Structure 1
Amino acid sequence: MESEALAAMATFGVLLTCPMDAYLESELEKRFRLLRLWETPPDQRERFLSANAGEIRAVVGNTAVGADAGTIELLPRLEIVSSFSVGLDKVDLARCREKGIRVTNTPDVLTDDVADLAVGLAIAVLRRICAADGYVRSGAWKRDGDYRLTSQNLVVLPKEHTSKELGNSGVVSAINFSLFVILAVRDSLEFKKLLANAFEDVEH
């Protein structure tokens, strides 16, 4: 039974649309008949797909090359399109839905990292960290003195310690790891009011 299953998998054609992780390619090749689309010149790919259409039942792509309507039409036995990425921009979802082709991706795999980077970039922009670094490295501080930082504050508060008023203020945005980020002018009345409300909420 196992040998029959392995034999069936060996004839199951998987179309890899572009170079990807070496481990992924290796594991796919162990189990299926792997066809690498990028090894065929662009002007010959339609002929290549037509010649292998009887065997290709899966397409593995990413945000660079997926499965457009033309590719899907050339593969009548296609059962699944898998995107080795979060985005599905390169997959014709309407055509897949119409033909009953399953579509998978890797949702949320980078969500935490994107949130971390977003906060880091926000701080870098507000405090002009990159510009300040260049200022110091250039030696301009010897001539022009201290580098003036921005007049904005970045306050990060745990979501559970923020009041309803704070959450509805319009200058607060939620980010992935259950924190609120407040961007406001340091000396503004609005900023002082928000900060006072936040700390009052923490004390209670």
Structure 2
Amino acid sequence: MFARFAANGLFGRYGMTGAGLALAGLAAYSSPSQRAHAAGKSPIDCAEPVCDDKKDMFFSMMAGKSGKSGKKKECPLNRAQLGKSTWEFLHTTAAYYPDDPSEDEKKAAEGLINGLATLYACQHCREHLKQHVDEHPPDVSSRVAFSKWLCETHNIVNKVLDKPQFDCSDASIQRRWRTGCRGGTDETAAETLGRE
């Protein structure tokens, strides 16, 4: 977008202030829910902050929404942040799930997935997950099965979002979520927690 303003001479003609005002004006109709509301239609996204995406945040930032001190406001997670954090948590949990889980561990894993399908903050994400879980219950019979079920579920979501697909082989899953690099350091787990 900045390239378009620069190419059209907006920065030169009106300066950064003018460009900022133009972007702030665009921000009023930037989110899908705001555009739908302005058109008199019901919005696809819910009105909760967790349903916003990065584009909405960009336009909000360009509109000058910061604290009085100029410091970044602490805001609720948006949909992309929540999704990324949730997937990272789920994949990591599955990578450490037992190879031969007890009945209690199986119930806990099912409860985790069913709990998300019931309580997830993003309404339409929750509805899609609920439908998927009803049609394809999580396979919690082993670490390999649970990790693969999660990976395949994530790929279904990524396909809808036009994002890349993951390799769901056990070797790839373990490398990505369990045995891969430790941030490029040789620290032990205790050292990363500040205990040594």
Q: Give TM class, smaller chain.
A: under 0.3
Higher RCO, Cα 8 Å, sep 6+: 2
More strand by share: 1
TM-score (norm 1): 0.24
